[in-house]
Chain A
Amino acid sequence: MTRYIVRRLLQAVPLLIIITALLFILTANLGDPLAAFGGERRRLQPADRARLERQLGLDRPLVEQYVIWLVGNDWMKIDLDGDGVADSYGTRKGVLRGDFGNSFQERRPAIEVIGERIWNTLLLMVASEIIVIVLAVLVGTFSALHQYSFWDNLITTLSFIGYSMPIFWLALMLIYLFGVNFQRWGLPSLPTVGMYDLSVGPTVGQIALHMILPLTALSVVSLAAYSRYVRSQMLEVIHQDYIRTAYAKGLPERNVLREHALKNAALPLVTIVGLDLPLLLGGTVVTEAIFGWPGMGRLFWKASNAGDIPVTMGILLIIAVLVVVFQLITDIVYTYFDPRIRYE
């Protein structure tokens, strides 16, 4: 097992290099990266622009920029004053040593800017995953056990609608209904923007309250897909011989379902959850943008719009690593649920 994990991690290295190289070419052309330095009142003079480009290394060939992004430039002399002579050492350490560069917009380390937001996104994602998995198992199992009943048909129809639901449409509906109209009707309304009331501060209660709407918007699509999945898995499993045997030896239905059926029916859900991570991350961009949630998705949207290369690349790298690691975890968890699978 250890050998398998090590091999997979080693395989991930070239993969991540391909991914980051591809993305580096793309992000280098997000628009004028120096726009953030000018501001409205003072436009950048050509001389300043040239100096800034030299300092940021934007005048170098793309390949060199990528290498510097990767391993930094504190080991080589660079030409800062533009006289054609490389005279001083660079200051960047490169992402391999944890230096993502400075955010063009905020003029402080990109890792700091991202670090402030990433936990908010993870909070939203983890909470959403937990809700979705628990509900999907419950709803899917119920649906499978009452196949073709009124409730099953209703759930199937609803899950189709949920699966087709654009997140932004659902989010706007939720805000309009629970945020705006409830207030208008004098009912207790839910907060629609931000993480907490500025007057109250970031207490647990405030954050939980502010999470309700974004969580709902984020969860519905996955919930619809997963509950359908659990249903079809459950239907397959409960017609297997070993389930009949379990019933035949007199086990109560609860035990049969919980200990025999569910384990095998939930197994494929593990893979789906692991592989759906990119989709969920995409969902957070829209959700965070609409609900003003100070997370990584919204930061990415803003940073890429402003041509803030270090922040954009930093987020993309973190996401790519997350996705690769999650796939590995998925494979390992799979062996736990299904001992028949052995990785050499």
Chain B
Amino acid sequence: MASASLNADEILARQALTPGQVAWKRFRRHRMALVGIWILVGLMLYVTLGAFFFTEADANLVDLRQKISAPSNGHPFGTDMAGRDILARTIYGGQISIIIGVLAVVVSVTVGVLIGATAGYFGGIIDSLLMRFTEAVFNIPQLFLLIVLAKFFASQTPNFTFLGRTYSGSVVIIVGVIGLTSWMYLARIVRSSFLSLKEREFVTAARATGARDASIIFEHILPSAMAPIIVTATLEVANAILSEAYISFLGMGVQPPTATWGNMLNEAYNQLEVAPWMWFFPGTLILLIVLAINFVGDGLRDALDPQSLAGAQE
């Protein structure tokens, strides 16, 4: 037998892999996920290092003599309606788009975990009430809910300054709105993990030692339910960036002066035929980042959550 020829050292060396290493090994086997990582790194460098070449003032510099000019040496990506440089705007817009995507997921994970964990852990009437509510929100198409919520909160939020830069107040609103319309799927996953995990011995043991409910939920059960949460949250970032783009494209998202990849497209839509560069660059960047995050999320699922349905079917 092949295994008999392995000596003890080799077997020990095998067992020495930590769960993290095992996951990394599985992740590396997923070629698309590695490509995704590289695209993500590239995009991160683009929006961070790019800021050293262009100031935010460059990105917002209005020059009407230069308006709607095609890509050239001076403006590699061309200029928009107000003569602003598209390259500089994709850099600063990208920062906002990515920040919105990540923060929105923080909101949606917080809400989703709280609701899912409470429902799954306590069960009974709390569970059925929370799940009814979740189902109700789930039944409204997200984009419709986004539009209504964005309008609901849109009443003149003041601009604010953070780390020396001025942002449109709508950034905060969009983060909240996207977060509040995307937690339902996660809540269901967390609930079902909690339903099965709470019956396990380690939970009984924790309860026997007198741990409080909050401590059992967050310190004992939640760490065991992390894998699907991480995978879902990763994929959710892609969705959040897309949602921002959709809502901004429809003109109800982030408002000027703050640029995002989404609202750059909104301005470009009317210049569809004349100035394709206005929508081509921000649109392609959105496509790239969503694609890369989906690749990485898929790889993470294979690595962290091999029992999950989608992973097992491969």
Contacts and interface: CB of A to CB of B under 8 A. Distances in A.
Q: Do A and B come from one complex?
A: yes
Interface of A: 14-15, 18-19, 22-23, 26-27, 29-31, 157, 160-161, 163-169, 172-173, 175-176, 180, 232-233, 235-236, 277-279, 281-283, 285-286, 289-290, 300-301, 304-305, 307, 312, 315-316, 319-320, 323-324
B140 A300 contact: no
A210 to B, nearest CB: 17
A23 B283 contact: no
A291 B152 CA distance: 27
Contacts of A290: 269
Given A285-B250, A300-B144, A26 B287 contact: no
B147 A31 contact: no
A169 B144 CA distance: 19
Contacts of A166: 242, 245-246, 283, 286-287, 290
Interface string B244-256: 0110011110000
Which size bracket describes the interface of B in this complex?
A: 35 or more
B287 A169 contact: yes
Contact of B269 (A18, A172, A233, A282): A172
B249 A160 contact: no
Contacts of A26: 148-149, 152
Contacts of B286: 166, 169
Interface string B130-168: 001101111111111001110110110000000000000
B76 interface: no
A167 B250 CA distance: 12
Interface stretch (B43-51, B63-71, B271-279): B271-279
Interface in B279-314: 279, 283-284, 286-287, 290-291, 294-295, 298, 310, 313-314
A220 to B, nearest CB: 12
15 contacts: A26-B152, A30-B152, A167-B246, A169-B279, A169-B284, A172-B269, A172-B272, A176-B276, A180-B272, A278-B139, A286-B246, A290-B269, A301-B147, A301-B250, A316-B144
Contact of B291 (A15, A164, A316): A164
The listed residue with most B CB atoms (<10 A of its CB), out of A26, A163, A166, A316, is A166
B133 A18 contact: yes
A160 B298 CA distance: 10
Contact of B155 (A31, A176, A304): A31
B272 A278 contact: no
B111 interface: no
Interface of B: 32, 132-133, 135-144, 147-149, 151-152, 154-155, 238, 242, 245-246, 249-252, 265, 268-269, 272-273, 276, 279, 283-284, 286-287, 290-291, 294-295, 298, 310, 313-314
Contacts of A23: 140, 148
B141 A278 contact: yes
A304 B154 CA distance: 12
Nearest to B265: A168
Q: Which 5 A-B pairs have the closest CB atoms?
A: A282-B143, A278-B141, A232-B313, A169-B283, A164-B291
Contacts of A312: 148
A178 to B, nearest CB: 12
Contacts of A285: 143-144, 147, 250
The listed residue with most B CB atoms (<10 A of its CB), out of A164, A278, A300, is A164
B250 to A, nearest CB: 6
B105 to A, nearest CB: 16
A169 B282 CA distance: 9
Nearest to A280: B141
Given A29-B151, A164-B287, A285-B144, 7 more contacts: A169-B279, A172-B272, A172-B283, A277-B141, A278-B142, A286-B249, A316-B140
Given A165-B287, A236-B313, A279-B141, A14 B132 contact: yes
Given A29-B152, A31-B155, A320 B290 contact: no
A305 B252 CA distance: 8
Contacts of B313: 232-233, 235-236
Contacts of B310: 232
A147 to B, nearest CB: 10
B148 A27 contact: yes
Contacts of A316: 140, 144, 148
B195 to A, nearest CB: 21
A164 B246 contact: no
The listed residue with most A CB atoms (<10 A of its CB), out of B143, B265, B295, B298, is B143
